[in-house]
Structure 1
Amino acid sequence: MTVPQLPSRLVFRIPSTAVLGALLFAVTATPFAWAAPGLYLVYVVPVVAIVWVLRVRTTADGEKLVARTLFGRHVLPWTDVRALKLSERSWVRAVDEAGKELPLPNVRTRHLPALSLISGGRLDDPTEAPEQTPEEESGEPREEAKAE
C-alpha cells in the first residue's frame, strides 16, 4: 500500500490553452484592424487577454498564499489567514487578521479541500463530516447532569 504524497504547492490558474482564443481573435480582427487608420488598436484586446491568462493565478504552499493579479502580487502567510469567505458566485476570498479581504484569483469552492490539505491543517476542510463522539455514533442519548 502506497502513501499518497502531498504536492509542495498548488497553482490555481486559467488553462494556457485559453491563449489560443486570444490568438484566434487577433487573426479574425485583422480585416477590421486594417480597414481604417487607428483601428489597429483592436490588437490591444488580445494582447491584454494573453497577459491576463499567463499572469493571473493563486499559488498556495505550506507557508503562504500568493495571489497574482494583472498589475500586482499579494502574499498572505497562513498564520495571518483568519478565514475564507465564499461569494455567491463560488469565488473564494481570504480574510486576514485585520479583516481585510484578499481575492484569490481562479480559486473556487471546489478547491477548498485541496487548500485545506496544503495549509497543513490550518484550515478546516468544509467537505468533511464533523467528528462524532462514540455516544453520538451509537445513537444513544446523552445523559445530562442535572443541577439540584
Structure 2
Amino acid sequence: MTGLRVIPVEPRHRADWDRLYAGYAEFYGVAQTPAMRDRVWSWLHDPAHGTRGLVAEDAEGRAVGLAHFRAFARPLSATTGGYLDDLFVDPQMRGQRMADALIAALAEEGRRQGWSVIRWITAENNARARAVYDRVATLTPWRTYDIPL
C-alpha cells in the first residue's frame, strides 16, 4: 500500500485507536468498556509504564492498524525480549501487508533495544493471522497456560 507508514501511537490517533482496539476486543469476544480502553490508552502514553504502541497509518494519516508491545526479562538466556501483546488491522484494510509492516517495525525497535527475540501468541483458530505469522516468524513448540486470579 502506498503511503503506509508505521509510527509510535500519538494523541491524534485516539479516535482511530479506540475503533481499532474495540474491533480487536470484539474479534476475540472480550467484553471491553470505554474505561478499559482509557486505561490502556493512558499506559501507552505513560513513560513509567512498560506498554508501548505502534500504529500503521494510511496516506491520509488515519490509523488503520495497531500493535501493543513491551519488554520482558528472559532469565534463562540473561537477555531481554519484546512481547507483542496485541496486533490488529482494520478488516477493510487487510491483505495489504500492514500486519507485516507492524511486525517489521516492532522487530526494528527490538534491534534498537538489544532484544533477543520478539514473541507473541495467537488463537489456534485465527487462520488469517497465523498465515501472516507463519510467513514472518517461526512457530515454537511451547504451550501457554493460565491461572485465572
Q: TM-score, normalised by structure 2?
A: 0.26
Q: Which of the two has greater helix per residue?
A: 2
Give the greater-gyration-radius structure (CA): 1
